[in-house]
Structure 1
Amino acid sequence: MSNRDEEGAPTRRRGAALENAITGAAWDVLLEHGYNGFTYEAIAARAGTSKPVLYRRWPQREDLLIATLTRYWRPLGIPDTGSLRQDALTLLRTVNAERGSTVILLRIHLADYFRETGTDFSDLRDRLLPADRTPPFAQLVDRAAARGELTDVPRSARVVNLPFDLVRHDMLMTMGAVPDETIVDIVDTVWLPLLGLSPHATHAGH
């Protein structure tokens, strides 16, 4: 199906322009109707194209879902302030501001997807992130060890990623943003002591 240019002549979308139109329409359908309403028919109608166009690019509905989420679930920038504490606070505040509403919406709208596939939000996040990408908090810990702020010893992924897991838990429990004092508490009273650091020793920059 074609659009029209400024003079009213038909124009045919191709390549990236067409795919962006489809994934944009798919995102809108997902947020409005959830996974149950995430159908080729609804998405094609919203994008102004046909179902065969969608099937040629994404033979399975899950393929189109992952392509759509990949477009809108952009990797976060990793802060580098020179302080592990300040890096962690900055990253969590960014997650809180930029990802909070998306995490909640996806958890609600993809509930049927998780039930159907037997997966969970963590599995989905792993699929959306590049396979060779080091998780954000692992990058912060590696940098801190490289500059001598932390001892360079093996640490479990659960400990390293704990701040994000706790913030996400609070988002989902309250269905809203996490208070800043909670973010500070997670970093200062839970995470830094687990890593063997005193928050008072890294308090500069709060």
Structure 2
Amino acid sequence: MAERRRGAALEKALLDAAWEELTNNGYARFTMDAVVKRAGTSPTVLYRRWSDRDALVRATIPHVLRKHIHDVPDTGSLREDVLTLMREISATRLQLVTVMSVNLASYYQETGTSPGDLVDPTTTGRKEAVDALFDRAVERGEIKPELLTERIKSLPFDLLRHEFLTTFAPVPDHVLEEIVDTIFLPLVR
């Protein structure tokens, strides 16, 4: 007989089941009943935590993003730190970005939200991680801190996401190098 899940283990199982439903079927066919069935639990257990599918999606996305945080590289150079992080993201996040953009399109339309509304970098730890990378580059004297706006810091990663969404494939290394060397680095030096 399977051990009964409780607390954090149960919540993780529910959120993992919700992510699998979103990944496999998209938001248009995403139902609370499908998540209950996939998680092997009862509707009461799910509805006790999330009152509707919107609330469940808003809990699922940060849960998944927290599981996909990469260690921040410390290679000794901003160029290599950013390229290393972009290479790791390119190799591991294609499905995540695709699901968030394509499979959730009907969610954004129905709720009047955007991917940015679901992704709060402070709740996933992503902002602190990227800030540490840039703080080290400032300490090494590689970049001018007054040039580091939030938009500039996110630019290489925004362009990486754009590549994902226009090709639906991992981004080739020469493209990553072009983003970093010809677009990003000239803006911070």
Tell me, yes or no, whether TM beats 0.5: yes
2:72 paired residue number:
78
1:95 aligns with 2:68: no
Report the secondary structure of 1:178's partner residue.
Answer: coil
Structural mapping, 1:41-56, within 5 Å: 41-56=33-48
Aligned counterparts of 1:67 and 1:107: Cα–Cα separation in 2: 17
Amino acid at match of 1:93: R
1:141 paired to 2:134:
yes
Whichever structure has more helix as a proportion of its residues is 2
Kept in 1, the 8 Å contact 2:152–2:187? The answer is yes
The question of whether the paired residues in 2 share the 8 Å contact of 1:35 and 1:113 is answered with yes
Aligned twin of 1:166: 159
TM-score by length of 2: 0.89
Choose which of 177, 180, 187 in structure 2 pairs with 1:184.
Answer: 177
Question: What amino acid is aligned across from residue 179 of structure 1 in structure 2?
Answer: P
Task: Tell me the distance in 2 between the aligned counterparts of 1:149 and 1:86.
Answer: 12
SS of the equivalent of 1:25 reads: helix
Q: Percent identity?
A: 47
SS of 2:146's equivalent in the other structure is coil
Contact 2:23 2:103 in 1 (8 A): yes
Conservation of the 8 A alpha-carbon contact between 2:101 and 2:115: yes
**Aligned-pair CA distance for 1:178:** 0.9
Structure 2 counterpart of 1:191, which letter?
F
How far has the Cα of 1:105 moved from its partner?
2.3
Instruction: Please give the alpha-carbon distance, in whole angstroms, between the structure 1 residues aligned to 2:80 and 2:5.
Output: 46
- Aligned match of 1:200: none
Matched, 1:195 2:188: yes
* 2-structure distance, mates of 1:94, 1:47: 30
Unaligned runs of 5+ residues in structure 2 are none
Q: Give the corresponding residue for 2:100.
A: 106
Instruction: Tell me the amino acid that sits aligned with residue 61 of structure 2.
Output: L
Work out the CA distance in 2 between the residues paired with 1:49 and 1:180. Answer: 44
Corresponding position of 1:152: 145
Q: Deviations over 1:21-46 (max 9, x none)?
A: 22222122111211122211111112
Structure-2 residue corresponding to 1:36: 28
Q: Which of 15, 18, 23 pairs up with 1:23?
A: 15
Pick aligned residue for 1:66 from 58, 61, 70: 58
Structure ID, larger Rg: 1
User: How many Å separate the matches in 2 of 1:80 and 1:64?
Assistant: 36
The 1:132/1:100 distance shift into structure 2, 3 A limit, reads: closer
Residues 100-126 of structure 1: CA distance to partner in whole angstroms, max 9, x if unpaired? 221012211100111122222222222
CA distance in 2, matches of 1:114, 1:70: 16
Alpha-carbon RMSD across the aligned residues, in angstroms, is 2.0
